[in-house]
Amino acid sequence: MKKIALLFIVCLTHAGLIAQDDVSIGHYKKIESKILRGEVTYLVHLPDGYENSQKDYPVIYMMNGQSVTAFANASATLDNLSNERIPDMILIGISNTGVAGRYWSCPDDSGNVKGGDSFSNFLREELIPEITRDYRTNDYKILFGQSNSGLFVIYSLLIQPDLFNAYIVASPMFGWCPQFYLDKAKAFLSNNSSLNKKLYVSYGDLDYIEVLRHINDFKEVLKQSPSGFMWNLELVENAGHVPFVTLNNGLLNFFSGCTINSERRKLKISEIKSHFEKLSMEYGFPVIPKAGVLFDMAIDSKNEKEYDRAVELFKYLIGLYPDFTAAKKELEKLEN
């Protein structure tokens, strides 16, 4: 099994140049696709602590995973946000080369979208079942695409909305077949009065004309969405095609309730528990506060001499994370 490796920074010291260990951001795997009639390569990035946990994880399926830079950015985004802001997730980067490059999602002269249909079936019938079999996953899935593959992500929502829970798109190239998407989106939203899905779309103010010329028309269509459909279309200033902050902003948009902000820090422990129980029902998998955030809250309470609240927070934290040694030591000090 091959690894993607990034050479870590080397440090110049008085003794000379000292090289650091390589840093792995993912593992290559391959699947033989009968639907696409060939081999498809994909990359897997697992959340920190995956090997030692028994948890099931949501999965992000990322298009254009053959771009090491883009995959590294996505991996770093997940690692950073999962510290305090979002649930831990598995990242799958699909290499859209060879047979997997046939995801074109505009209709041909006969009105058929052969590429988009085939690739969507590949995801449903082959790739997702393989990931479900090989990794501990729950049912929450996100599809993330950029540019032409971003157009495919929107097409996937419109033709198989049961396949993913949420969709993240950077700079969709509507210009290739704008009327097709306007008409299809209007019909889709009109025919789905109950639509519990999430969509985040970003584009840059310096984006391609194929994006800029049609993005506002698509926004007007989205304004006709049913109440259950959560969508956000965001202009990223001073950004060109496929803004790199797209995944970051999309995930923060989807999981905004998971952040214990300044107002939520004031809640009673019972209220915090109730808040995350509601989030768990919304997402369909267990969502709990991040350990580091609870620890900081407990330490702040201790420093403010709110000892009863500090004890309660430490006990809540230890109940969620039994191996958090520092919290146990702090609680012992307070109780003695």
Q: Look up the CATH number of the domain holding residue 31.
A: 3.40.50.1820
165 and 151 housed in the same domain: yes
Domain shared by 313 and 169, yes or no: no
Q: Is the pLDDT of residue 138 over 50?
A: yes
Q: What is the percent of the chain with per-residue pLDDT over 70, rounded to a whole number?
A: 94
Taking the C-alpha atoms of residue 133 and residue 142, their distance in angstroms, rounded to an integer, is: 18
Average pLDDT, the chain: 93
Query: For residue 6, is pLDDT > 70?
Result: no
In the three-class reduction of DSSP (H, G, I as helix; E, B as strand; rest coil), residue 159 is classed as: helix
d(CA 53, CA 220): 44
Please choose, from the candidates 55, 92, 51, 52, the residue with its C-alpha nearest in 3D space to the C-alpha of residue 285.
Answer: 55
d(CA 220, CA 94): 31
Average pLDDT of span 33-40: 98
Q: Taking Cα atoms as reference points, which of 134, 161, 154, 156 lies closest to residue 42? A: 134
Q: Same domain for 237 and 280?
A: no
318 - beta bridge partners? none
Residue 39: pLDDT band by 50, 70, 90 thresholds?
very high
* pTM > 0.85: yes or no: yes
Check whether residue 249 and residue 275 sit in a common domain. no
For residue 7, the model assigns a pLDDT of 36
Q: Residue range 67-88: average pLDDT?
A: 96
For residues 275 and 249, membership in a common domain is answered with no
Q: pLDDT grade, residue 253 (50/70/90)?
A: very high
Same domain, residue pair 99 and 166: yes
Pull the structure tokens for residue 229.
Answer: 């459909």
Q: What is d(CA 203, CA 234) in angstroms, rounded to the nearest whole number?
A: 7
pLDDT band at 150 (very low <50, low <70, confident <90, very high): very high
User: For 269-280, what is each residue's pLDDT tens digit?
Assistant: 999 999 999 999
Mean pLDDT of all residues in 250-254: 98
- 251 & 269 share domain: no
- 39 within 8 A of 32, measured Cβ to Cβ: yes
Count of domains for the chain: 2
CA of 110: how far to CAs of 106, 107, 188, in Å? 11, 7, 21
DSSP at 151: H
- 279/232 same-domain check: no
* End-of-domain residue from the set 216, 233, 258: 258
Confidence of residue 13 (pLDDT cuts 50, 70, 90): very low
Binned at pLDDT 50, 70 and 90, residue 285 comes out as very high
Looking at 258, 281, 300, the residue that finishes a domain is 258
Judge if 148 and 205 occupy the same domain.
yes
Domain final residue pick, 233, 258, 283: 258
Same structural domain, 185 and 253: yes
User: Mean pLDDT across the stretch 34-52?
Assistant: 96
- Structural domain of residue 305, as residue ranges? 264-335
**Element spanning 225, H or E:** none
Q: Which of 133, 290, 283, 305 is nearest to 196 (CA)?
A: 283
Of 48 and 15, the one with more pLDDT = 48
Give 215-233 pLDDT, tens digit per residue.
999 999 999 999 899 999 9
Same domain, 191 and 225: yes
Q: Which amino acid is at 182?
A: L
Can you tell me the mean pLDDT for 237-246? 98
Q: Tell me: do 195 and 55 sit in the same domain.
A: yes
| Strand extents, DSSP E, 51-205 | 57-62, 90-94, 137-146, 166-170, 198-204
